[in-house]
């Protein structure tokens, strides 16, 4: 009997390992994968199957409420097939060893982590990165992050976050790519390609997770986790494209969101997780919940208890329960009672095992646990260089009167503000394994660049609170300088998850200090660190130059310094609109015209505020350079666009300033009459070009009918014939304009 058991177990292992020898199957539809998955599935007990549907956090990092499970024991018993918040090659090896040597079936673990903008080498926050509009640089950032994560034992990142948002009160805008579906979709695809590479089995690739499905970026009043309520048309046209792009790019996992959608929490929504995700988008990977979002359906009020919430989730299409322990606790019993079928459970387990095969984990469960590689890869010179490159490209110059910037080297500078001397804040939220002790602050870098004796520093005030006792010293320091650089903004923890604000002005008494500094009549440069668009109306009045630095990452201080001194000419453009005040929110460039647009002659009865202009302080797509660019009128290859055809719109862009620079040329369209109302502008193309002083380049955009498609009155997706406007310019406001007709 004992002999028989040993033989069985040997066979078990062989059955799993055998197929893995050919683990580099790239295509999720490859039939051979199914055969391998089935060969494992048929050996599994129901407990082991449910174990694969369980994801627990280690005690290494906290990214939500703790459930205090003994995850090591659960791995050993085969009750937990996936771990998150555990990293380093050594620690993941220890856990993997328990899974593949001590659990009965020896199925390797997935190790997930929030590698959002870097593992140890931290890149700018995702919103900052998006302002580069540089898809190659963004992909590279994800690739480097994957390489460092993979070297640190991780094989799964909970990224990219692709939620569109038009509400800067919501702290999580820092994790996304801004307000625009077209740009957001391109960036989503670039990030998935970066994380997953060409082949998931490549040891430098990790599994991507498109999140948070869906519409998590539209909580009412910008309050995190709050209700989402929007029309399906708005959802499909404006919110879905980045999720779709991430899935089309091959992402093999998707995270269900915390929010409700049309009255149903996303984690229990068959519409979202089955109809849209699987049937419409053809998603082939597995769905993981967000942190305890099954359990939270009880609070939402769609399930009386956690067991019922679990039923809603599995029926909707959730394969894996993150941290909630609901599947672990109730699923077996529900199967026995006939409330769920084994087929449903098998389906989920199949999807999860398939990804484990695709990652090559059955082939070599320790492929991510190589300490020598970890030492070599993490913080390598090449990675730091990539972080510097992206950081420079992410910075957005918002104002530069009288050529206050760039600074001249050797001038006496007064650097003011707590954030100037902060290392922690440079990394932003979701800093993964990033360590601030290793990096330089903006003050450090300015001193290195300009010479310590030429840089005076005073904190002046903290980023929060109302202590003004440092004002006099800051003023006396500033008096001695030629120019003042005030670094101001938010604490890194003020954006990201659970960090919504009702007041999006610069916190504390920082702006009050700026007002005092203004009385000295010296040129003032404001460098901003923040994770969301802020109301900068006051700062815009006071400062001569404003550089938006976001939270720029490990190499961010150097990037800021290089831009301040003109070593790099800024080229970033905003991917979210900056309002004049919080009352304008939600604010975004693709608004509808309304029946009473503001340009009507009537002085009163139109869509406007009586106490503030309608337009934003800084529009979508906006950003200055140290040089200037002139745009010619637009030339169209044809003013008629036929189905199955295309037209080309070209514009000649010239560098008319005094230094070389880069410009992000943007193309927008407007569909003038539709069966449903259409936005006043929609981005349909962009290109970043480099121009030497005096140089001109022709930039061309190809317009095809599919770019003009939308959900029509009857909810079918397609185009409608008629007149369109076409705009090209350096931001969404300042554009050249022409028109064309789409015919049927």
| Sequence-ordered strand ranges (E) for 423-560 | 455-458, 483-489, 524-529, 545-548
Using an 8 Å Cβ cutoff, are 161 and 212 in contact? yes
Residue position matching structure tokens 């903004």: 489
- The phi-psi region of residue 302 (left if phi > 0; otherwise alpha if psi is between -120 and 50; otherwise beta) is alpha
Contact status: 148 vs ligand NOJ (CB under 6 A):
no
Closest contact distance (angstroms) between CB of 266 and ligand NOJ is 12
Q: Under rule CB under 6 A, which residues in 519-558 are in contact with ligand NOJ? A: none
- The phi-psi region of residue 644 (left if phi > 0; otherwise alpha if psi is between -120 and 50; otherwise beta) is left
Contact status: 74 vs ligand NOJ (CB under 6 A):
no
Closest contact distance (angstroms) between CB of 195 and ligand NOJ is 14
Closest contact distance (angstroms) between CB of 61 and ligand NOJ is 8
Is the Cβ of residue 111 or residue 158 nearer to ligand NOJ in the bound state?
158
Contact status: 629 vs ligand NOJ (CB under 6 A):
no
Contact status: 64 vs ligand NOJ (CB under 6 A):
yes
Tokens encoding 530: 């923040």
The Cβ of residue 305 has, within 10 Å, a number of other Cβ atoms equal to 12
Is the Cβ of residue 296 or residue 418 nearer to ligand NOJ in the bound state?
296
Contact status: 493 vs ligand NOJ (CB under 6 A):
no
CA 511 to each of CA 263, 508, 535, 594: distance values in angstroms, whole numbers, following the listed order? 42, 8, 12, 36
Contact status: 449 vs ligand NOJ (CB under 6 A):
no
Closest contact distance (angstroms) between CB of 95 and ligand NOJ is 17
Closest contact distance (angstroms) between CB of 337 and ligand NOJ is 31
Is the Cβ of residue 84 or residue 618 nearer to ligand NOJ in the bound state?
84
- Residue 156 has phi, psi (to 5 degrees) of -150, 125
Closest contact distance (angstroms) between CB of 696 and ligand NOJ is 45
Three-state SS for 559? Answer: helix
Is the Cβ of residue 191 or residue 711 nearer to ligand NOJ in the bound state?
191
Contact status: 260 vs ligand NOJ (CB under 6 A):
no
Contact status: 158 vs ligand NOJ (CB under 6 A):
yes
Closest contact distance (angstroms) between CB of 177 and ligand NOJ is 15
> Judged by CB under 6 A, which of 39, 63, 540, 642 binds ligand NOJ?
63
Convert 1-14 to b/e letters by CB count within 10 Å (16 or more is b).
Answer: eeeeeeeeeeebee
Cα separation, 591 vs 224, whole angstroms? 23
Is the Cβ of residue 174 or residue 569 nearer to ligand NOJ in the bound state?
174
Closest contact distance (angstroms) between CB of 252 and ligand NOJ is 16
Contact status: 163 vs ligand NOJ (CB under 6 A):
no
> Judged by CB under 6 A, which of 319, 374, 497, 535 binds ligand NOJ?
497
Strand partners, 483: 413
Asked whether the bond before 406 is cis by omega within 30 degrees of 0, the reply is yes
Three-state SS for 469? Answer: coil
Write the secondary structure of 256-278 as one string of H (helix), E (strand) and C (coil).
ECCCEECCEEHHHCHHHHHHHHH
Closest contact distance (angstroms) between CB of 211 and ligand NOJ is 6
Site map (CB under 6 A) of ligand NOJ, residues 291-320, x = contact? x-----------------------------
CA 366 to each of CA 74, 99, 467, 530: distance values in angstroms, whole numbers, following the listed order? 19, 11, 53, 39
| Sequence-ordered strand ranges (E) for 144-223 | 156-157, 209-213
Asked whether the bond before 429 is cis by omega within 30 degrees of 0, the reply is no
List the catalytic residues.
290
Contact status: 211 vs ligand NOJ (CB under 6 A):
yes
Cα separation, 422 vs 443, whole angstroms? 8
| Sequence-ordered strand ranges (E) for 285-395 | 286-289, 321-322
Contact status: 235 vs ligand NOJ (CB under 6 A):
no
Is the Cβ of residue 259 or residue 441 nearer to ligand NOJ in the bound state?
259
Site map (CB under 6 A) of ligand NOJ, residues 109-138, x = contact? -----x------------------------
Using an 8 Å Cβ cutoff, are 504 and 535 in contact? yes
Is the Cβ of residue 117 or residue 211 nearer to ligand NOJ in the bound state?
211
Closest contact distance (angstroms) between CB of 127 and ligand NOJ is 15
Closest contact distance (angstroms) between CB of 179 and ligand NOJ is 19
Strand partners, 287: 254
Q: Which residue is nearest to ligand NOJ (CB)?
A: 63
In the chain, DSSP finds a helix count (H) and a strand count (E) of 22, 27
- Binding residues for ligand NOJ, total number by CB under 6 A: 8
Query: How long, in residues, is the chain?
Result: 744
Using an 8 Å Cβ cutoff, are 129 and 551 in contact? no
Is the Cβ of residue 551 or residue 668 nearer to ligand NOJ in the bound state?
551
Is the Cβ of residue 497 or residue 671 nearer to ligand NOJ in the bound state?
497
Using an 8 Å Cβ cutoff, are 191 and 142 in contact? yes
Cα separation, 134 vs 386, whole angstroms? 13
Cα separation, 459 vs 422, whole angstroms? 10
> Judged by CB under 6 A, which of 48, 129, 290, 377 binds ligand NOJ?
290
Is the Cβ of residue 63 or residue 654 nearer to ligand NOJ in the bound state?
63
Residue position matching structure tokens 């189905």: 643
Give Cβ neighbours of residue 489 (< 8 Å, ≥ 6 apart).
419, 425, 463, 506, 510, 528, 529, 530, 534
Is the Cβ of residue 285 or residue 523 nearer to ligand NOJ in the bound state?
285
Q: Which residues bind ligand NOJ (CB under 6 A)?
A: 63-64, 114, 158, 211, 290-291, 497
């Amino acid at each position: 009997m004992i002999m028989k058991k040993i033989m069985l177990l040997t066979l078990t292992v062989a059955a799993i390992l055998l197929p893995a020898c050919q683990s580099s199957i790239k295509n999720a539809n490859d039939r051979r994968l199914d055969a391998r998955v089935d060969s494992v599935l048929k050996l599994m007990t129901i407990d082991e199957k449910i174990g694969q549907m369980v994801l627990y956090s280690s005690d290494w990092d906290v990214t939500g409420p703790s459930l205090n499970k003994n995850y090591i024991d659960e791995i050993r018993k085969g009750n937990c097939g996936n771990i998150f918040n555990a990293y380093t090659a050594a620690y993941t090896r220890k856990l993997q060893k328990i899974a593949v040597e001590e659990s009965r079936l020896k199925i390797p673990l997935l190790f997930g982590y929030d590698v959002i903008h870097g593992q140890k080498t931290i890149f700018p926050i995702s919103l900052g990165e998006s302002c580069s509009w540089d898809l190659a640089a963004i992909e590279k950032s994800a690739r480097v992050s994957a390489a460092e994560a993979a070297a640190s034992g991780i094989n799964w990142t909970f990224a990219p976050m692709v939620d569109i948002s038009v509400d800067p009160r919501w702290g999580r805008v820092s994790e996304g790519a801004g307000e625009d579906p077209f740009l957001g979709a391109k960036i989503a695809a670039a990030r998935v390609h970066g994380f997953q590479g060409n082949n998931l089995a490549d040891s430098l690739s990790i599994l991507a997770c498109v999140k948070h499905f869906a519409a998590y970026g539209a909580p009412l009043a910008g309050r995190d986790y709050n209700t989402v309520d929007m029309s399906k048309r708005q959802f499909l046209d404006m919110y879905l494209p980045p999720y779709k792009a991430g899935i089309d790019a091959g992402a093999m996992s998707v995270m269900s969101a915390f929010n409700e959608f049309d009255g149903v929490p996303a984690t229990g929504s068959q519409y979202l997780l089955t109809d849209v995700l699987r049937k419409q988008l053809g998603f082939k990977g597995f769905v993981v919940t967000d942190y305890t979002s099954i359990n939270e359906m009880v609070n939402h009020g769609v399930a009386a208890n956690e067991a019922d919430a679990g039923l809603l989730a599995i029926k909707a299409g959730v394969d894996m329960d993150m941290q909630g322990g609901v599947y672990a606790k109730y699923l077996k019993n529900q199967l026995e009672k006939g409330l769920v079928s084994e087929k449903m459970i098998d389906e989920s387990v199949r999807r999860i095992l398939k990804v484990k095969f695709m990652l090559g984990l059955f082939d070599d469960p320790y492929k991510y646990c190589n300490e020598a590689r970890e030492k070599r890869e993490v913080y390598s010179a090449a990675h730091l260089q990539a972080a510097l490159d992206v950081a420079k490209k992410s910075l957005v110059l918002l104002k530069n009167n009288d050529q206050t910037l760039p600074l001249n080297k050797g001038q006496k500078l007064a650097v003011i503000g707590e954030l100037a001397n902060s290392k922690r804040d440079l990394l932003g939220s979701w800093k993964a394994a990033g360590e601030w002790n290793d990096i330089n602050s903006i003050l450090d870098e300015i001193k290195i660049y300009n010479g310590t004796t030429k840089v005076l520093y005073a904190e002046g005030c903290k980023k929060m609170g109302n202590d003004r006792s440092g004002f006099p010293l800051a003023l006396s320091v500033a008096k001695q300088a030629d120019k003042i650089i005030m670094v101001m903004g938010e604490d890194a923890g003020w954006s990201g998850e659970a960090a919504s604000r009702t007041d999006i002005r610069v916190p504390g008494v920082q702006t009050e200090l700026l007002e005092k500094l203004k009385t000295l009549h010296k040129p003032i440069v404001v460098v901003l660190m923040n994770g969301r668009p802020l109301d900068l109306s006051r700062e815009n009045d006071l400062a001569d130059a404003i550089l938006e630095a976001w939270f720029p990452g490990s190499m961010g201080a150097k990037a800021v310094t290089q831009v301040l001194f003109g070593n790099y000419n800024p080229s970033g453009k905003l991917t979210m609109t900056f309002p004049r005040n919080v009352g304008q929110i939600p604010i975004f460039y693709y608004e509808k015209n309304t029946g009473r647009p503001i340009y009507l002659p009537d002085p009163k009865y139109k869509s406007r505020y009586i106490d503030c202009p309608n337009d934003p302080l800084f529009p979508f797509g906006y950003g200055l350079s140290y040089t200037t660019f002139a745009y010619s009128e637009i030339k169209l290859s044809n003013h008629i666009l036929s189905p199955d055809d295309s037209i080309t719109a070209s514009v000649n862009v010239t560098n008319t300033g005094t230094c070389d620079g880069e410009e992000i040329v943007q193309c927008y369209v407007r569909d003038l009459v539709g069966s449903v109302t259409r936005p006043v502008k929609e981005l349909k193309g962009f290109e970043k070009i480099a121009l030497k002083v005096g140089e001109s380049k022709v930039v061309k955009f190809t317009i095809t009918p599919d770019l003009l498609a939308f959900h029509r009155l009857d909810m079918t997706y397609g185009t409608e014939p008629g007149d369109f406007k076409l705009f090209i310019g350096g931001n969404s406001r300042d554009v050249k304009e022409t028109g064309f007709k789409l015919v049927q």
